[in-house]
Amino acid sequence: MKFMSALFTAGILAATVSCNNTPEEKKQPEITVPVVKITQADWGNIEGTPVHLYTLTNQKGTTVTITNYGGIVTSFVTKDKQGVASSIVVGFDSLAPYLQSPPYFGAIIGRYGNRIGNAKFSIGKQGYTLAANNGKNHLHGGIKGFDKVIWQAAPLEDSIASLTLSYLSKDGEEGYPGNLQVTVKYTLTDDDELAIAYDATTDKPTPVNLTNHSYFNLTGDTKETILNHKLQISADAYTPVDNTLIPTGEIRAVKGTPFDFTSPQTIGSRMDSVPGGYDHNWVLNRTGAGLQKIASVSDSVSGRELEVSTTEPGLQFYTGNFLDGKFINHTGTKVNLHTALTLETQHYPDSPNKKNFPTTILQPGEKYHTETVYKVSLTK
């Protein structure tokens, strides 16, 4: 496939032939120029290795941009109820901010999304020690997790645009056992769905818990907080945490607590009752192994709604409690406290150390496969 970004832009949807509408003349047939569904642009380099930015476009003009550095979703541009287009994910216009160790904006997280207590775990009688990069705990794959590596990219323009990213995490990388071959496929559908499929295989037993860490603000501008967004999560229980955000092992009912989002609730309405804000895992109400809608969040100002479907058993909802204004969004505004949220589909935190949690250990000969879909629409 040849990329034609010099000839077309992702926003070109159609061109028509004009004619004089006289009674004697018949209208000329409309000529449609096909959408260029995926383009590639140079985006710098890291230690001599090229970094690229890929733009996926659907028939509605919605775009998603992804870089092969960290598999980062740098923008997800949709129209609001006024027809104004803006990105619903926090991101930056150049590679440089992502090299400053930002808090995982838009990135693929692995090998293990979320925390592992005391940066240690065992498989059978064999113990493993990981980097303690979050106090005494291990967070999001370590010092150089999947968010900080350059992935091999394979763009595909067929009926819809997709981008497949591949990475080999070698045995011993960040302390994890086994050579882990990973692929992550991003697809933008004409229904404004960003579908993400994760696949992995290993040659030794190893924990695997892959997710995406996009920060959402449905207003399209981090001048606004997410505290007035309304959230619903299909979960009757969550996993309480200690003061270092490691699950205690208890699975507790949400009923009667600020963690009850079984019906739509304004995020900020009860957050004062949660010290530090929300940064917890919800135990999803699953009815089968396939994709299932498990959460939705909406914003009355923009009219946007985001639906989340997944095959995963857990959802980490985080309200940007550590955002401090250090970074500037696409819009030129600071990314301050509570100006973005994450909805990370995953297995539970610290599962390798919690026997009552669903296992995250991938065995040789097994295939890891999970799917998540983020769908944007306008509320009626």
User: How high is the pLDDT of residue 31?
Assistant: 52
338 is catalytic: no
If DSSP codes are grouped into helix, strand and coil, which group holds residue 32? coil
Distance from C-alpha of 312 to C-alpha of 211, rounded to nearest angstrom: 10
Distance from C-alpha of 5 to C-alpha of 47, rounded to nearest angstrom: 26
Is residue 232 within 8 Å of residue 296, measured between CB atoms?
yes
Beta bridge partners of 107: none
Q: Where are the beta strands (DSSP E) in 6-99?
A: 38-46, 49-57, 63-67, 73-79, 85-87
Q: Which of 355, 320, 174 lies closest to 247 in space, CA to CA? A: 355
If DSSP codes are grouped into helix, strand and coil, which group holds residue 19? coil
229 is catalytic: no
Q: Whole-model pTM? A: 0.90
Q: How confident is the model at residue 249 (pLDDT cuts 50, 70, 90)?
A: very high
Distance from C-alpha of 352 to C-alpha of 314, rounded to nearest angstrom: 15
* Four-CA torsion 299, 300, 301, 305, nearest 10 degrees: 40
Is residue 208 within 8 Å of residue 359, measured between CB atoms?
no
Distance from C-alpha of 73 to C-alpha of 66, rounded to nearest angstrom: 4
Catalogue all structural domains in the chain, each as residue range(s) with its CATH number: 38-378 (2.70.98.10)
Query: What average pLDDT does the chain have?
Result: 91
Lowest mean per-residue pLDDT among 16-20, 62-66, 84-88: 16-20
Backbone conformation region of residue 332, classed left if phi is above 0, alpha if psi is from -120 to 50, else beta:
left
Lowest mean per-residue pLDDT among 28-32, 183-187, 314-318, 338-342: 28-32
> Tens digit of pLDDT for each residue in 112-150?
999 999 999 999 999 999 999 999 999 999 999 999 999
Q: Which residue has the tokens 């939705």?
A: 296
Name the percent of the chain in helix, strand, coil, to the closest 5. 5, 40, 55
111 prior amide bond cis, ω within 30 = yes
> Tens digit of pLDDT for each residue in 278-319?
999 999 999 888 999 999 999 999 999 999 999 999 999 999
Chain Cα centroid distance, residue 310: 12
CA angle 222, 223, 225 (to 5 degrees): 70
Catalytic residue among 52, 213, 229, 280: 213
> Tens digit of pLDDT for each residue in 353-370?
999 999 999 999 999 999
Distance from C-alpha of 92 to C-alpha of 95, rounded to nearest angstrom: 7
Distance from C-alpha of 153 to C-alpha of 71, rounded to nearest angstrom: 9
Backbone conformation region of residue 230, classed left if phi is above 0, alpha if psi is from -120 to 50, else beta:
beta
